[in-house]
Amino acid sequence: MSRAGRAGKGARAGGVRLTLRGIVMLVASGIAFVAAYALGFRQLLYVAVVLAALPLIALALVRVRRPKLSVTRSFSPHVVEAGSSATVSLLVHNLGASRTMRADCWDEVPWVENGSSTHELPMMQPRGPRFRARGNTARIEYELRPPRRGIFPIGPFVVQLGDAFGFATTTYRVGTTQDVIVTPEVVALAETGLSVSAGDGESRLVQRRSSGDDDDSMTREYRTGDAMRRVHWRASARHGDLMVRQEEQRSFPEARVILDTRGIGYEDLSGDERTGDLDSDSFEWAVRMLASVAVHLRRFGFLVTVEESGSPQLEIDISRRHHRLDEEFLAELAELRLTLSSQNSLDFSGSTEKGRGSNGPIIAIVGAPDGQTLEWMLSQRRPGDVAVAFLVQSVSAIDSLDRRLGVRESHSLAATTTRLANAGWLVVPVRSDDDHAAAWDAVVFETGRSRVGN
């Protein structure tokens, strides 16, 4: 995700300027000065000088009285899900030698034009032993609700200070930005009839087999540290050495989730290809579905492997059993981007070998895959594997079907659907504004009906 630019109140930070009231005072001073000479009233010159002096003195005052501050920012939680809220706590410290004046303040927020909500910064005592320990500190809290995933800079802290009469104001930034990690929304999904070819979706008991009878098949030589309760006495008597019962190994059902990260596969692609700052509503839907499906399958005991059609970006291996993996995986998804076509290199030999060695259902989430991506997807499925493909269409592309390229786009979608269906895939066409749980319900229905039919 791109880091959005700043605008609004924060964009004006850094200058000292007159307010509308101050400008009116200067205009009135000019009128009084002209009238004094035109009408011959020397007394109006004193009025003109006073009217001009007040806003100019205010400008100098707000510049000189600008406090020296420091800001400490914290998030609770630090990693927040898109659409949910986090609490931002600001500790503002007065580092100057004089008491601060009251001022307005706010944090710059990328997705809000005018920054966060405006707060009143109270007067704070100067730093020093003569004052109370907390007299030079103010605490400010506000709610942060990021609309979409990404890593966003929050801040800097902006202070807007004015004089008592409202003639002049200065706006300046304090401190630096701090990143908040926004993970994709994880939607609760219903249980499905997805299963592996052996084991029916449940963890299976696998025992190591070697030459010999049943006693030998579950025993091995005694090793230092083995508990005596595991000694197999009959096998020990036959071998003339201590033998212990072999530990039972459990293998969990495996599942693979394929995500098309190639920009060429999404019709609503936008952004600057030269900088790689690409965006797509269809891709955002696909990432949310990836997060929801991966977390859902892991909670039902699957070992999940995620494969990307573009250049690999995800480093976390979630095909392991670890309670923190979901959090680490979602944090990585916050930075997942579309890749340019020039950066893509699909390895058919490696992908096919990997697909044939795995065991379990395949969930593919793609937009409008080109021929190369489609062939790569088809190479992942073994005969008998359950394979589901979500084809994500952008709303803008669907709405334009009756206009310029509608016939060609519709034909392309139908050809892709037919090709996947003929290869044994369950195809679920969706829109980029569809509900993820409803799309998954279609898989629940179809896989459940398939199991009943078998």
CATH number for the domain harbouring residue 430: 3.40.50
Residue partners of 253: CB distance under 8 A and separation at least 6: 195, 196, 199, 201, 202, 203, 204, 301, 302, 303, 359, 360
Residue 323 has what pLDDT? 63
Asked whether 309 and 259 are in contact (CB, 8 A), the reply is: yes
350: tokens are 């490696």
Q: Cα angle vertex 209, ends 204, 215, to 5°?
A: 110
- Does residue 2 lie within any of the structural domains? no
pLDDT, mean of residues 124-152:
82
Look at phi and psi of residue 199 and say left if phi exceeds 0, alpha if psi is from -120 to 50, else beta.
left
Q: Are residues 60 and 80 in the same domain?
A: no
- Does residue 219 lie within any of the structural domains? yes
pLDDT in tens, 313-346: 998 888 776 667 889 999 999 999 998 755 455 6
- Does residue 220 lie within any of the structural domains? yes
pLDDT, mean of residues 82-100:
92
User: Across the chain, what does the average pLDDT equal?
Assistant: 81
Residue 15 has what pLDDT? 79
Q: Strand pairing of 15-18 and 168-174?
A: antiparallel
Residue 406 has pLDDT above 50, yes or no: no
How many angstroms separate the CA atoms of 345 and 187, rounded?
Answer: 31
- Does residue 192 lie within any of the structural domains? no
Q: Are residues 78 and 58 in the same domain?
A: no
Q: Are residues 264 and 386 in the same domain?
A: yes
- Does residue 199 lie within any of the structural domains? no
- pLDDT-based confidence at 349, cuts 50/70/90? very low
CATH number for the domain harbouring residue 91: 2.60.40.150
Q: Are residues 376 and 432 in the same domain?
A: yes
Q: Are residues 167 and 288 in the same domain?
A: no
Asked whether 62 and 169 are in contact (CB, 8 A), the reply is: yes
414: tokens are 């139908």
What burial class does residue 297 get, using C-beta atoms within 10 Å of its C-beta: 0-12 exposed, 13-18 middle, 19+ buried?
buried
- pLDDT-based confidence at 196, cuts 50/70/90? very low
Residue partners of 368: CB distance under 8 A and separation at least 6: 265, 266, 267, 391, 393, 409, 412, 413, 416
Residue 448 has what pLDDT? 67
Q: Are residues 344 and 238 in the same domain?
A: no
Percentage of the chain beyond pLDDT 90 is 50
pLDDT in tens, 148-195: 999 999 999 999 999 989 999 999 999 999 999 999 999 999 987 675
Q: Are residues 367 and 416 in the same domain?
A: yes
- Does residue 231 lie within any of the structural domains? yes
pLDDT, mean of residues 101-108:
91
354: tokens are 């990997």
Query: What residue type is assigned to position 389 of the chain?
Result: A
Asked whether 417 and 429 are in contact (CB, 8 A), the reply is: yes
Q: Are residues 258 and 374 in the same domain?
A: yes
429-to-281, 357, 398, 401, 417 alpha-carbon distances in Å: 15, 28, 12, 15, 8
Q: Are residues 416 and 326 in the same domain?
A: yes
125: tokens are 């005592």
Residue 11 has pLDDT above 70, yes or no: no
Range among 77-81, 123-127, 229-233 rated most confident: 77-81
How many angstroms separate the CA atoms of 159 and 121, rounded?
Answer: 8
Query: What residue type is assigned to position 439 of the chain?
Result: A
Domain count, the chain: 4
How many angstroms separate the CA atoms of 71 and 154, rounded?
Answer: 12
DSSP assignments along 165-193, one per residue: TSSEEEEEEES--EEEEEEPP--------
pLDDT in tens, 366-387: 999 989 999 999 998 988 889 9
Residue 416: which domain range? 254-453
Range among 195-199, 371-375, 388-392, 449-453 rated most confident: 388-392
Q: Are residues 347 and 440 in the same domain?
A: yes
Task: Calculate helix-pair angle for 436-453, 281-299, nearest 10 degrees.
Answer: 50
- Does residue 163 lie within any of the structural domains? yes
Least Cα distance to 190 among 360, 363, 435, 444 occurs for 444
Handedness of CA 26, 29, 35, 40 (dihedral sign): negative
At residue 151, φ and ψ (nearest 5 deg) are: -115, 115
pLDDT in tens, 211-230: 344 444 578 787 776 777 78
Q: Count helices and strands (H / E) in the chain.
A: 11, 22
Look at phi and psi of residue 266 and say left if phi exceeds 0, alpha if psi is from -120 to 50, else beta.
beta
Query: Which residue, chain included where needed, has tokens 């449940």?
Result: 202
Q: Are residues 326 and 391 in the same domain?
A: yes
